[in-house]
């Protein structure tokens, strides 16, 4: 208890000249509530600042990862959501890729277009041209009417080398061969970028075999395994993943300090998904996670100098 209290001395948050020195968890929660109430003072003002074009440091103590872009503010997996994430200075953008009927890497989460577009039907049953004709923004808000389902190439052209990307390969029979197509596209942009793609891209999936296939093709690209069941984070399973994976993306329901420590002992880092509640953030910081995936990356502290 004394050790934990010593570690809890302060959480220092700095942005735009505002510094908060917080005490133990109650102080942290209270401060988070205050920040939520006065939002524009600390976080939303970031949107108006000159953006630093340097790529975020993946070794930062805590990464703020924009889930499907800043999808709390714009329709998920659209360029609008990615632009928002970039301009509120998220440390990384998470997105989903799968294959169209004609084998193009398109950015969309569901296997069907129904929920997030004006169309109906399976992604893998539509060509890129057909997908491009859909409105991927109006379902969220009429302000985003005309947003399109982007290709991964669209995203790399705009953001490659500017902000790290956490790319989830969707796993299904319809996405057979996605590993090689993704590796080849990353290689294409690696040759054009001023920084090596291994410094700016992480590839993740629930499907371990798919990740192993990708790793054999592009062993230089870091791998993250997404886990949602406690059986997947037992010591034996972790030891099987550690030789090829650098990260575990763990469901928030599984994250405890003990679990995080167990994973980190194998050399892997821990991302937690998908956090939406401001008041949940202190417990995940306290657990020692390396990244928080959220629709609202600007609710996560900007700099964490000392954990709880």
- Provide the annotated active-site residues: 67, 109
- Helices marked H in 120-177: 128-132, 152-159
Is residue 215 a contact partner of residue 183, using CB atoms and an 8 Å limit? no
Is residue 205 a contact partner of residue 169, using CB atoms and an 8 Å limit? yes
Which three-class secondary structure state does DSSP give residue 28? helix
Give me the helix-helix angle, 178-192 and 152-159, nearest 10°. 20
H or E element that contains 104:
none
Indicate the Cα dihedral angle 85, 14, 289, 75, nearest 10°: -20
List Cβ<8 Å contacts ≥24 apart for 242-248.
242/266, 242/267, 242/268, 244/211, 244/212, 244/215, 245/211, 246/202, 246/222, 247/202, 247/204, 247/222, 247/223, 247/271, 247/290, 248/224
Question: Residue 277 — φ and ψ, nearest 5°?
Answer: -95, 120
List Cβ<8 Å contacts ≥24 apart for 136-145.
136/75, 136/77, 136/78, 136/108, 137/74, 137/75, 137/78, 137/80, 139/75, 139/115, 140/74, 140/75, 140/76, 140/116, 141/75, 144/74, 144/75, 144/78, 144/80
């Amino acid at each position: 208890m004394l050790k934990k209290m010593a570690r809890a001395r302060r959480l220092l948050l700095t942005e735009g000249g505002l510094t908060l020195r917080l005490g133990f968890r109650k102080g942290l929660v209270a401060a988070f509530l205050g920040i939520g109430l006065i939002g524009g003072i600390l976080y939303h003002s970031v949107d108006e600042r000159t953006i630093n074009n340097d790529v975020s440091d993946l070794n930062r103590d805590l990464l703020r990862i924009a889930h499907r872009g800043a999808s709390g503010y714009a329709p998920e997996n659209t360029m609008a959501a990615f632009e928002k994430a970039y301009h509120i200075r998220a440390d990384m953008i998470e997105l989903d890729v799968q294959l169209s009927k004609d084998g193009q890497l398109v950015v969309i989460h569901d296997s069907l277009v129904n929920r997030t577009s004006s169309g109906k039907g399976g992604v893998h049953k539509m060509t890129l041209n057909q997908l491009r004709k859909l409105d991927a923004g109006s379902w969220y808000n009429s302000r985003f009417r005309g947003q399109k389902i982007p290709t991964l190439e669209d995203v790399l052209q705009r953001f490659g080398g500017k902000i790290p990307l956490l790319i989830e390969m969707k796993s299904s029979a319809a996405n057979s061969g996605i590993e090689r197509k993704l590796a080849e596209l990353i290689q294409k942009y690696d040759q054009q970028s001023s920084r090596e793609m291994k410094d700016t891209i992480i590839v993740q999936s629930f499907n371990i075999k798919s990740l192993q296939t990708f790793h054999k093709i592009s062993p230089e690209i870091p791998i993250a395994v997404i886990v949602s069941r406690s059986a997947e984070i037992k010591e034996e399973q972790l030891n099987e993943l550690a030789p090829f994976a650098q990260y575990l993306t763990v469901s928030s329901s599984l994250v405890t300090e003990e679990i995080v420590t167990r994973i980190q002992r194998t050399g892997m880092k821990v991302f937690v998904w998908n956090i939406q509640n401001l008041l949940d953030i202190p417990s995940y910081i306290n657990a020692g996670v390396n990244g928080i995936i959220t629709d609202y990356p600007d609710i996560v502290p900007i700099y964490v100098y000392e954990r709880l």
